[in-house]
Structure 1
């Protein structure tokens, strides 16, 4: 099955979190040693907000719901870098004339 591409752009309030996979060994007197774990030890996680009309948010909601947190997809982050991500959760709030969708995109490494 071919991987789909997420084509909608988030609002400017998007937030990126980077947490490298690191093992830390603590020694006496507050000394420590750090070592990176794995080949792909630095992953990005993005908290995204989309404030759009009903029809656009319905399309985004349908796309994310169809993937169900299992199927990964391509997404280009605000810096122009294409990532393979999954969306573990998203929420939709309705307002008069528009909706707001919040989603968390987590970078994954797959073949």
Structure 2
């Protein structure tokens, strides 16, 4: 499995929304349970600024994984390796640098 080795900016966003099944009964009562054994997978909104020539390598890496192939990435806050996929990213090209924003979604396959 390939490794995403580029360093992301420290202002990464990690929205957290565990999957929960809810059954509603009369009079406002409800029962809630965890939805599956992997109900707390994370997504990471990352960005990185690189030299103009390096953005091509990152774009090629993400394109080769085609939005469904998983790769390893080290979370800069926890320093844990996470298996992720990336279904969407954008590249903002400037004169000497490029900014790449992407969403990494944790997977367990």
Normalised to the residue count of structure 1, the TM-score between the two structures is 0.90
Structure 1 vs Structure 2 CA RMSD: 1.2
What does the per-residue CA deviation read over 1:5-59, in whole Å, with 9 as the maximum and x for residues that have no partner?
A: 1111111221112221210112333332210021111101001111111122221
Unaligned 5+ residue runs, structure 1?
none
Runs of 4+ that moved beyond 3 A: none
Aligned to 1:105: 104
SS at match of 1:46: strand
Residues 43, 106 of structure 2: 8 Å contact kept? yes
Normalised to the residue count of structure 2, the TM-score between the two structures is 0.91
Residues 52, 95 of structure 2: 8 Å contact kept? no
Distance 1:59 1:65 in 2: 10
Distance 1:45 1:17 in 2: 6
Unaligned 5+ residue runs, structure 2?
none
Residues 50, 57 of structure 1: 8 Å contact kept? no
Q: Number of residues paired by the alignment?
A: 108
SS at match of 1:18: coil
Residues 43, 108 of structure 1: 8 Å contact kept? yes
Residues 47, 102 of structure 1: 8 Å contact kept? yes
Aligned ranges for residues 1-111 of structure 1 at < 5 Å?
3-78=1-76, 79-110=78-109
